[in-house]
Structures are given as C-alpha cells and as structure tokens.
Structure 1
Amino acid sequence: MSFPSQVRVFEMSPRDGLQNEPGELITTAVKIELINRLSACGLSHIEAASFVSPKWVPQMGDASEVMAGITRKAGVTYAALTPNLKGVESAFAAEVDEIAVFSAASEAFTQKNINCSIAESLARFEPVLEAARNKGIKVRGYVSTVMGCPYQGDVDPKQVAQVANALYAMGCYEISLGDTIGVGTPLKAKRMLEAVNRDIPMNNLAAHFHDTYGQAIGNLYAVLEEGLAVVDASVAGLGGCPYARGASGNVATEDVLYLLQGLGIETGINLQDLINTGDWITRQLKRANGSKVALALGAQHEQK
C-alpha cells in the first residue's frame, strides 16, 4: 500500500477534548470561540458537541446553545455525538450536519462504561440510525478500545472487526477506530486495521488514537502507510478517557499536521493558525499544551 495523497482531519477538541475537563464548567462563549477559530484554520470536519445528559457529562450540558452560537462556515461539517434517540432529537433541533454513535470492542469496557453488553449497545443504536436515515443525516460510528482495554487487557482484532462490521451494516458511513487508552503500537495498529479492512473499505475507516504511551504518531504512520485517509485529532492534545487510569489526551492535531506535511500529504489546514488556536484554548483552560509541535514552533500571539 502507499500513503494517501490527501487526508481529512476530523477535529475532536470541542467534544472529546472538553467533555472530561475537570473543574468549573467551561463557558459557552469559550466553546463557541474555539469552534469558530478551528473553522478558520481550514478544518473541514469538527465534532462540536455531545447531546448527552448533563447529569453524566456536565461539560456538554450547553450543546444546543453552542450549536446556536457558532458562525457556520461553508464547507465545514459540524457534528455531534448522540448516544440515544433523545440526544438525536436535540441534535436535529440544533441543526447539526452529522451525528455519531459510540460502542466498544471490549465487553468489559462496555459493561463498565454504559452497563450493558456490546450487542445491547448496538441494538440501542438502531432507532438512532433509523431517525437519521429519515432525516437524511449521515451517521459516524466509533469503536473504542480497539487495541487494548483498561479492564480486560488485549483486545482481539477479530472482535474489533465484528463491532465495526455491525455499525457499518447498520448504516454508519464511516467507522472511527479508537485506541482509547493509547496502548497500541504500530504493528498492533496494522493488524487491527487489516482485520477491519477485510469487510469494510479503507475509504470508510478512520483512526482515533490517544497518546498515553507516546505511540500515537507512530501508530498513525503505520495506518497511513496502509492507505487510511481520515484521522481524528484534538488541538493541543485535549481530552482523555475517564474510565482509563492514566489515559492522556487524543493525539494533538498540530503534531498530526506536522507529520502529514512531512509526508507531502494535503490537508487544507494552516498549521500556524492551528498552533495559535491550541495556545489560546489552553490559556483559557489554564492547562499545559499537549502538542510537541506547538511547543517547538510557538504561537504568534494576537496584538491587542
């Protein structure tokens, strides 16, 4: 296989990056400005919100207000995570462009996370997919713990393929393969992708790798080499998994973009604008920037 000539970067920071941020609730205004800044960087896909119960994910409690407040840019898809039919209805009312559902390749993780089996979690998505079909809205499917689980350890690539196939058969146009706790290595990533790609075309697959062990960029190189052309990432490396002890954030979008540029792969994204955005949001959150590229190249602060 050879590297793709173009890669679509799916920006996760407004949802996956902020949903587990500790401390005070992040203001709606900050979330709106983050999304608007990301849109201006040249990103074509942004997961902007999650329509879940504020009881379980307080940081996402203002999803409707966020969607109402953003300045929508032509050519940008603003997506949202919708775990159930109630969430879907709210997402439709907020005029999201695309929705997503979320399962796992590990039975133990699914039981601990949402208190049901993998099969039961998939069954819950059927009315969600039906509602989206009736509305003409695309659905993305996430499979977490594709290379390891905090409770059961290693995850068989065949199990990943089974869950991915089920979501694809339901009608998910794209399956995002998530190394939720960041334990994967390049060879594991290749073998996992090969198992899934037996039944699902490469054009319908995405990589969602966390950087807990510092392997995310190496793992992405491995799957890009196989022809995968969609990468999930989060500016400044924001995010993490609340169910996995020590699990750090998503791979930083700045670091992914630097890798892609080095490989001569087109993205349509401005790296310096992205670095500036990552610097801005980490200052708002009063936290360290998780991007090595951002730290090396530095932000160009606006003159005020």
Structure 2
Amino acid sequence: MLLGLVLLMCAAPCEPASEDNDASTVLGRGCGIPPEGVPVWNVSLETLPPGGQVQKGKKLVLICLATQGTGNITFSWYKGALGLTLGTKTQRSLTAKFEIPAVTDSDAEKYYCTADNGYRPSISELVSVTVRSPVSHPVLTLRVPGAQAFPGDVVELRCEAQSGSPPILYRFYLEDVILGSSSAPSGGGASFNLSLTAERSGNYSCEADNGLGSQRSEAVTLSVTGRRPAEDPCRNPPSPVPQVSNYINSAAPLQEQIVYENVNVVSGDEVYSLVYHTQQERQAAVDPQRTHTTDQDASAIYFKLKKASPADVDYEDAM
C-alpha cells in the first residue's frame, strides 16, 4: 500500500518499481527527495595568496572546500557581512574556485562560501582579505642646526613615502653605503639622526620597502664645512659696552681715566657731583731697581653746584 501511494503522488516523474528497484530507490528518482548519499560536511574557505594578503592589482583566488559530500555540489561565494553574492558553480567535486582578476581597495573585506548537494547548505567561517599597496618613491629631507653644517652637528635625515601599506622599513645611505635604518609600523615616515664629520660630505638618499618592492629617493647633497669659526659674532652677540669715557694721551707718560657718576640732589637746594680721578704711571726706564711697575693715586672730588634748574640740562658738558 505505501509503495502504491508514493507512485500515485509522483505520477510520471517517478519510475515504476521493478525487481531490481526497492522503495528507497524509487523515492530517490524524480520526486524531489535527495538520493541516498553523504551530505556535504565541514566546508572551509582558503585564499591564494595564502593568508588573505594580496597586492593591489593582482589576482585573488577564493577556494571553497568540503571535507565530504557525494554527487553534484553547488558552491557559492559571498562578500561582506551582508552576504553579497559573488558567484555560484555546480560540479561533481569537493573543491571549487572563484577568482577576482585584479583586486582594488574595495575588495578588502570578509568572505565566506557555502556548499550544498541537496541535503542542506554547509557554511564556512569568515576569512579576511587585506589589499596591500607597494610604496611610492620616498622623499628625503635633511635638517641641520644652522645655515651651514659643521663637524659635530647632528643632522636629522627624514624619509617618507606618500603611499604604501605598512609596515614600512626605511634605509638611509651616504653614496651607496648604508648608514642605518628605521621602521614605520603604522606607515608614514621615519627619521635617522647622524653626527657629522668632515668626511660625511656627499650625496644622501633613502629607500622605502614594505615587502612588495623597494623604492629609492632622489639624492640630496650635503657639504660639511671644515670646522666651526672660533668666534661667531652672529651666534654670540657681545655684551653691552659700559658707557664710560676714556681719555688716553699717548705723548705723556701718564694715563688719565675720568669717570662721572650720576648727579644727585642730596638735600635742599644743593646738587653734588662725584668725580673719580685716577692716574696711572708707566714704568720708568732709568730705574731698573724698582719692582713695582705702576703706582695709582685715586682721589674723589666733590663739587658743590648751584640749585638745579630746568636750564641745567647737561652737567657733564658744563664741567
């Protein structure tokens, strides 16, 4: 009775039973019920290049694999958390591939795939794809403390590539000899400090490398001056010269120095001016027994002036 009921429901699509066909075989032919077999199981997604690291403009291959499953298997690939369908392929195989011929920055996403042989779909885990860009030609900048470079100065070499996926390794050169290196884990530029010597004049350059090919900068010429001047008035301005009037008479054996201090009103209507008078005697040529070469005689002279008035403008000129 059961076999007759099934044949009635399937009508033409189902094949009649025979001596070699049992009920289960008939159920699997043309009635929309999967035949006996093994469901797809343990689906995963892999990428080429491995690890999901692909260079911009290069080909990306998404490989969908099933550990087991029989019959024709339908594979589908999806992009992003919303599941944008990329493509579908049906074949009698446990593996299928989907290719993106030239990736762009927008292809940096999460991907997954499914496999179905009529029982139920099996879904892979999400796989992240990173699109990496090679570095551009870097630019080298030299920074010295002043307008000229002297031995002992510390020069900063700054190298920066305007584009390129991190991390970036920078190498610094004098002519073709490497001076050192510095890395930029998050991208951008990097610096290297160098103490100058007279032998370090020449052409400087730098190189940027992020594993997708290296790029070299243009050369920058630096001339190191022999040595710094002993006294540079531009860097060390002289101390202010005291406003002192010196009078020297080369014809006389004595030197006089007169210093005028400020004029002050001491008390009442009287104004006083303090004048120091110093005489310096040179060594006498006719007296070799003398051991002291100079004899100073300083005296202070006070002048009592009349009452100060607006007309008394310059007391030094008056004396």
Greater fraction of residues in strand: 2
Highest RCO, 1 vs 2 (Cα 8 Å, sep ≥ 6): 1
**Highest Rg: 1 or 2?**
2
- Normalised to the residue count of structure 1, the TM-score between the two structures is 0.16
Greater fraction of residues in helix: 1
